[in-house]
Amino acid sequence: MVFSSMFFLWVFLPIVLILSRVVPKKGQNLLLLLASLFFYAWGEPKYILLMLAAIFGNYLIVLLMDRFSRIKKLMLFLSVVFNVGMLGVFKYTDFFIGLINDIAKNQVIEPKNIALPIGISFFTFQAMSYVFDYYRGEYQAEKNPLNVALYISFFPQLIAGPIVKYRDIRNQLSNRAVTGEKTVEGIRRFIYGLGKKVLIANTLAYAVDQIYALEPIHITGPVAWFAAAGYMLQIYYDFSGYSDMAIGLGKMFGFDILENFNYPYISTSIREFWRRWHISLGSWFRDYVYIPMGGNRKGEARTCINLLIVFAVTGFWHGAALAFLFWGLYHGILQLIERLGFRKVIDKVKPLGWVYTNLAVMIGWILFRTESVPYSLEMVKRIFAPWHYTEGAFSVREFAGNYTILIFVLGILLMGPLQALVKRLFPKAEKLKGSIADLVFCCLIFAVSVFSLSANTYNPFIYFRF
């Protein structure tokens, strides 16, 4: 089930929201847990057992840590084996089988064709953070399995994040305020996220997917530029829109979920980009991988190695393909280049830093989107030398009509520049939140989004496959 589906918008969410207002406070967590399990089982019922295993496996591990302190390290090791093993079996089995077969140049092992459970990369990381932070002594063991179950399975951020740490939501599981003001703000945030996903991301996806379905020989320089820039905008509005909807849904039920995006395309360095993009994932790897390996405390050489390892793992987390590993290493190497002196150059000329960062990120997204290094290289050739690739069967206008071009331009403006301009020209614009004008605008976005969903079945979601 996706947030931008008619069933979710008109059946699931209204029913759960109404029930949450009539069920007594003591029954709220049980209601949300049952709703979350139903939400997860909607697409693939058989994997509900996997979800329950993740919940009770990690709950039991922490209880054993609490009961037998002498074996805390052993239990920590077992929790890593359990969670990473579960993620590895379902996400990476066929990848490694394929790698072995490629090395042997023969089908030594038959692929298992294991279906990837939706959201497994997200809920396993949340479960691991629950164990890690307890091991560090940041809170006592949770005795109530209902709280742990709801934390791991909470449907707003279950399938695509943000990745929530238990320490950030622990108190809210037992004591949270569901107010009219927070509910209104949650609905508003959800609608803005829905608009970003449906009106911008989906529109661009339709054009971009058609281009990337072509062989490179048919793609001219201008078409390659449009595809690369279009996907850059698509993935941002797709993922940040979903995060906005998750945060909004959390507020409707009394939860404050931390932000996951902060206008990443206004960054003037790759380092800054990763502080603004998928913030919860970057925070997770910083706290549980980078810092435990020594962070930047053991000299420059060790820091560089740690960064490369973290970004390699970050890339591989996104998908079981070498392209994702290379994409992660690509960003890691760019950070090393900045760290070794280039950052001083781009800091002196901010416009140069912005151009370099967005161009570098866009090139990385080509590899991320195609999942093929040879295809990516062909596209990059067309990006940097478009004058050599002027002959092709298609032009940009064959993929992008007037409406798509309008959305493309709007997407560029809304990734930071327009907000900054409004803030500068109208410093009191923030006070319009909750006003009649804001209400009318939200109703308009919702109506147009629903109309678009009704008229168009093209509703892809990028991060479902991660």
The residue among 99, 307, 342 whose CA lies nearest residue 315 is 307
Six-digit token string for 65: 């840590």
| Cα 98 to Cα 109: distance, rounded to the nearest angstrom | 8
Q: Is the Cβ–Cβ distance between 256 and 248 less than 8 Å?
A: no
318 an active-site residue? yes
- Tokens 């040879």 correspond to what residue? 374
At residue 440, what are phi and psi to the nearest 5 degrees? -65, -40
DSSP-assigned letter for residue 434? T
SS3 string, 29-92, reads HHHHHHHHHHHHHHHCHHHHHHHHHHHHHHHHHHHHHHHCHHHHHHHHHHHHHHHHHHHHHHHH
**Could you tell me if 240 and 196 are in contact, meaning their C-beta atoms sit under 8 angstroms apart?**
yes
Give start and end residues of each alpha helix (H) in 319-349.
322-337, 343-348
Distance of alpha carbon 22 from alpha carbon 140, whole angstroms: 32
- Bond from prior residue into 351 cis (ω within 30 degrees of 0): no
What's the rounded Cα separation, in Å, for the pair 333 and 307?
Answer: 9
Specify the amino acid at residue 61. I
| Distance in angstroms (rounded) separating the CA atoms of residues 463 and 278 | 12
Structure tokens at 224: 């390659």
Q: Which of 218, 318, 331, 388 is catalytic?
A: 318
User: CA torsion, points 434, 440, 445, 451, in degrees to nearest 10?
Assistant: 140
| Cβ count within 10 A of residue 351 | 9
| Rounded-to-integer distance, Cα 184 and Cα 163, Å | 24
For tokens 């380092």, the residue is 271
The CA distance from 162 to 245, in Å, is: 10
The two tokens of residue 7 are 């069933």
CA distance 110 to 437: 60
Nearest to residue 281, comparing CAs of 118, 461, 129?
129
Q: Which of 255, 215, 267, 188 is nearest to 392 (CA)?
A: 215
CA distances (Å), origin 249, targets 136, 154, 190, 252: 30, 10, 7, 5
Which residues participate in catalysis according to the annotation? Answer: 318
